[in-house]
Structure 1
Amino acid sequence: MTTHRASNAANWLREKLTEQSDYEEITLGASSQIQLQYLKSVTNSNLVFQYVVVPSYEMADVEAYEAYIATFPGTGKADDLQKLIEGILEGYTLVSIGPNSYLFNSVKVESSGVGEAINEAIVQGPRDAFSENIEMNLNLIRRRYQTSELKVETMTLGSLSRTAIAIVYDQERVDSSVLQQVKDRLKRVKIDILQSAGELEKYISPHRFRIFPNMVVTERPDRVVLNLTEGKVAILMDTTGFAIIAPAVFTDFFSAMDDKIQIPLVSQFLKLIRYVGLFITLTLPGLYVTFASYNPEILKSQLVLLIAGSRAAVPYPSFMEVFFMLLMMEFLTEASLRLPKAIGPTATTVGGLILGQAATQAGLVSNIMIILVSAVAISNFVIPLSMMGYTIRVIKYIIVLTAMLFGIVGILISVVGIIMYLSDVRSFGKPYFRLTLWESKEKVGHQHGKS
C-alpha cells in the first residue's frame, strides 16, 4: 500500500466498520494527528490505554511517539487493506499517525485457563489439560519438551472464523512423509467456520466412510509430548481444549497415561484388562443370541437350562431382547451426557434401576439379559479414549446382527472381518493395526550397542 493509500486507511476502515455497535474511534494529541480505531468486543482496552493512549500524552514529540509504536513488540505496519481488516477483526488496534498506519497487538484473549483433565482422568501424574488459548497450549508443551528441535508452524483455517492452527513436531524424530501429508491435507481444507478439533480431524481424514478413528484427539499435554517423542505430529487449534495426534495405531486408543507410571507388570495387566473388556463388549451380546437361539449345544446343559428358564416368560426372540436392552442402555448413556450435571447421574441411575427391575418383573427381558447388558456397558467404559469407545458401541450391533443371521459362524465371520479390515487400514501411510509406529532413538541405540 503506497503512502497515499496508507493515509486513507483510517477512512477506509471507518467506512467498513462505522455501522458496527462495538466500533470505537479515538483521536489523541493536541494536533489530532493520532487516531485509534478498534473493535471493543475483541480488543483489550487496558492494553490500548496503558501502551498507546498514556504514552501519547507523555511524549510531546510525535516523531518519537511514532518510533515508539513502530518498534513496540507485536506491532506491524498496515501496508495491505486485507491484512488491515483481518487484524482489526482479530483484535488489533489501528494506530494512524500522520500518513502512516500501524496495527498494534491488543487482542483480547478470553479462555478458561489451565484446568484439570476431565475426559482422560489419571490416578497419578499431571492433571493439567489444554485450554482454549493456543499460546497457553504451546506453553504447556514447551515446558515439558525443552529442545530446539521442537518446531512449531502456524496457519489459519476458516474463511470466516480465521482459526489459528499450529503444527508441532520434533524435527529430528518426525517422519518427513507424514509431516508433508499433514501439511497438504490442512492446506486442502476449505471451510467457513472451524470450531473444534474433532471437526478438523474429520476434514483431514482421507477416508470419508470409516468406522475406526485414525487420529487421536486428546486433552492431555503429556500425551502429546509422549507422542512427539515417538515421531508423531501434533495439531493444536485455537478456541478448543483438544489437540490432534497423527498418525495413530490401534493400540494408542487403549493406552492410558497411567501405564507409564505404574510398575511394568501392573501396567501390562491393566492393558490386558482393557483388551478383555473390548472382547466382552463386542462379542457378549452376539454370544447370548447364539447360545439362546441357535447353538445351545456348545454350552453345558446346566447353562442352557438356566438361560432357557430365565427366558421362559419372554414373548419374543433373543435378538429382539438384546436389541431392546442395548438401545435402552444407549439412551441412558446419552441422557447422562446431555442432562445437566446436577441431575444427570441421579436421573440415569434411578432410571436404569427402575427400568431393569420393571422389565424383568413384567417378563419383557430375562434376568441374565440385565446382567449381560451391565457387563457390556461397564466393559465399554474401560477404553481410555472416548473416540474408540464410540466406535465399539456401533460395531457390537453389527456382530449381533451377524449372530442373529448365522449363529456362532456369524460371530467368527464378523471378528475375522474386523481384523482383516484393521490390517488394511493406513494412518497417513503407516500401518494402523500394529503395536507402535516408531521406536525411540534411545531404544534403537541401546539395541545397537548390545549387538
Structure 2
Amino acid sequence: MSEQQHTQAVLLEWIRSQLSGFGDLEDKVLTIPAGQVSLLYIKSVTDGQAISRNIIAPFYEMGHPAAYYSYVADYPGSEEVTDGQRALDLLLSGYACIGREGKLCCFDVLRAEASSIKETITESISQGPSDALGESLAVNLNLVRRRYLSSALKMEFTVIGNVSKTKVAILYDESRVNHQVLAELKEKLDSLKLDILQAAGELEKYISSDKLRIFPKTIVTERPDRVVFNLAEGKVAVLLDTTGYAIVLPSIFNDFFTAMDDKIHLPFVGRFLKLLRILGVAMTLWLPALYIAFTSYNPEIVRVQIALLIGGSRATVPYPSFVEVILMMIMMEFLTEASLRLPRAIGPTATTVGGLILGQAATAAGLIGNIMIILVSVVAISNFLVPLNMMSFSIRVLKYFFVIAAAVLGLVGVVICLVGFTLYLCSQRSFGQPYFRMFALDVLGADQRKKSGGQ
C-alpha cells in the first residue's frame, strides 16, 4: 500500500470512528474488475436517488476507477478534501465521500425536504420556524439532522410491535446526554411487549415509570426545533415512523411552560411571557375553588362590596355555588371538546355561537350568576396559555380536585389541596431527574454548554 493510500485509509477510519453510533450511516465499497472506491454518506440528509443516479450508476457504466474519480472531482458542487474535520463537516451537511488511492472527494447530494412538510398546528408561535414533524421517519430525521450538524448526534434504531413493526429512532448528543437516562430508556424499550404501536403518546404512556400519574413526565412535540433545543440540553429524543410527533425526555414541570419563541424574544420579555403562563395555570386551578369558598364558606375574607356583589348576582340561582360551578365547568368542557372534534370549517363558529347563546340564556333565566360567566370564561382562556397540550389536559382535570376540596372544606380545603399538590410535585421524578426543579434546568444547560465549549 502506497503512502497516499495509507493516508486515505487512516482518514476514512477516523471519519468512521467519529460517526460510530450513527444508525443512518452508509459505508459501502463499490467494486469492479478494474478496481474499487469507498463510499460514505448519511442517509437521513442525502438524496438516495441522486446517489444512485450520479454516483453509483456512473461508476459501473464507466468501468474504470481513475476516469470515474476524475468525473466525480470535476462535477459541479464537489470538493476534494485532505482534512478529516472538513470531510466530516461536509458529510453532516449532506455530502457523500468517495475515496480512491489516497484521494477523497465530497459530492453534494443534500436532500432538503420541503413539499412533504406541513406547518405546526398544536404548537404555533409568533416567530421562528413553522415546519412540523411528519409521518415519515426519514423526513423527521432529515429535519433534525439539518439543524444539528454535529458528529456527537447519535441515532440508534429499534423495532417495536409484533404486528405493526414500528421503526423507532433514539437520538441523543453523546457529549451531553445523561447516560443513566439513556440506559433506562433502552431498558424500557427492550422490555416492551406490544402488538401495535402507532402514536408517540402511546409509547410515552408505556415508558413512564409511574402509571398512576397526574402530570406528563415527557414532552410530546411536533416541532423539530424543540427537539433540537432539547438535544443540545443533553436530553434524549425518540421518533416514531408513521407519526408526526417526537418524545423528549427527561422533562420537568418547567419545560411545559416554555414556548419556542421565548428563545427569540428579549430575555425579559421571554421570562414575562412564561410568568403569564404560570399565572394562567394558577388562575385555572384556584378561581373556581376560591369562588366556592368565598361564596359558601368564607365570605368574611373578601371586602363587603365584593361579597354583596356576589350575593346579588346569585340571588335568583336556585342551587349552591358548588353545583353552579360544576355545571358551568362541564359545559365549557363540552364546548372545548366540540371545538376539537368538529370539522375545522364549522367548529369555531358553532362553539362560539353556542357558548354565547347558552351563557346569555342561562343568565337571563336566573340559573347562573353573571360573575360565574366571567369566571368560567377566564378559566377557559387561562387553561389554553400552556404551550403543550399534554400539560393543558392535566390542568383541566386537576382543577376539579380543587373544586371538590373547596366544596367540602371551603378555603381550608383549597389550602390543603394546594399543599398536597406541591408535595406531590416535589416527590416526582422524570427518569431520575427532580420533576419540580423549576429554574435549575436552564442553569444546568448553560453549564453543560460552557463545559462542552471549553473542551
Which residue, 241, 254, 258 being the options, matches 1:255? Answer: 258
- TM-score w.r.t. the length of structure 1 is 0.74
Q: Is the 8 A contact 2:178 2:235 kept in 1?
A: yes
Alignment match, 2:234: 231
Equivalent-residue separation in structure 2 for 1:183 and 1:446 (angstroms): 25
The one-letter code sitting in structure 1 at the alignment partner of 2:428 is V
* 2:446 counterpart residue number: 440
State which of 393, 398, 409 in structure 2 corresponds to 1:395: 398
How much has 1:206 moved relative to structure 2? 1.0
Cα distance in structure 1, aligned partners of 2:203 and 2:448: 33
Alpha carbons 2:402, 2:414 under 8 Å: kept: yes
Equivalent in 149, 170, 191 of residue 173 of structure 2: 170
Give the CA RMSD over aligned residues: 2.2
User: Any idea what SS the aligned residue of 2:220 has?
Assistant: strand
1:279 aligns with 2:282: yes
- Quote how far apart the aligned CAs of 1:112 are: 8.3
Is the 1:232–1:247 contact (alpha carbons within 8 Å) kept by the matching residues of 2? yes
Aligned counterpart, 1:193: 196
Question: d(CA) in 2 for partners of 1:315 and 1:172?
Answer: 65
CA distance in 1, matches of 2:295, 2:175: 57
When residues 443 and 173 of structure 1 are mapped into structure 2, their CA distance, relative to the original with a 3 A threshold, is: closer
Alpha-carbon distance in structure 2 between the residues aligned to 1:317 and 1:304: 15
C-alpha displacement of 1:444: 4.3
Q: Structure 1 stretches of 5 or more lacking a match?
A: 1-46, 60-110
What SS is found at the alignment partner of 2:171? Answer: strand
Per the alignment, residue 110 of structure 2 pairs with none
**What's the CA shift string for 1:142-167, capped at 9, x where partnerless?**
11100100000000001111000000
Within-5 A mapping of 1:43-442: 113-434=116-437, 435-437=439-441, 438-441=444-447
Shift of 1:342: 1.2
Secondary structure of the corresponding residue to residue 245 of structure 1? strand
DSSP 3-state at the match of 1:152: strand
List structure 1 segments (4+ residues) > 4 angstroms apart after TM superposition: 441-449
Give the Cα separation in 2 of the matches to 1:430 and 1:160.
34
Flag the 1:442–1:249 CA change in 2: closer, same or farther, 3 A.
Answer: closer
Q: CA deviation at 1:439?
A: 2.2
Q: Give the 3 Å change call, closer, same or farther, for CA 307–153 of structure 1 in structure 2.
A: same
Counterpart of 1:415, as a letter, is L
Aligned to 1:3: none
Q: Distance in 1 between matches of 2:115 and 2:408?
A: 51
Residues 259 and 267 of structure 1 are in contact (CA less than 8 Å); yes or no, is this contact kept in structure 2?
Answer: yes
Distance in 1, Cα, partners of 2:449 & 2:418: 34
Match of 1:43 in 2: none
What TM-score do you get using the length of structure 2 for normalisation? 0.73
Task: Output the amino acid matched with 1:183.
Answer: K
SS in 1 for 2:157: strand
1:436 offset after TM fit, Å?
4.3
Aligned in 2, Cα 1:137/1:448: closer, same or farther, shift over 3 Å? closer
| Aligned mates of 2:186, 2:172 — CA distance in 1 | 12
Distance 1:163 1:424 in 2: 34
Identity of aligned residues (%): 59
Distance 1:292 1:188, change over 3 A: same
Cα pair 1:158 1:191 within 8 Å, conserved: yes
* 1:322 CA displacement: 0.1
Are 1:249 and 1:436, in contact at CA under 8 Å, matched by a contact in 2? no
Instruction: Name the amino acid aligned to 1:224.
Output: V
The separation in 2 between residues aligned to 1:318 and 1:122, in whole angstroms, is 38
1:268 offset after TM fit, Å? Answer: 1.1
Amino acid at match of 1:150: L
| Amino acid in structure 2 at the alignment position of 1:123 | S
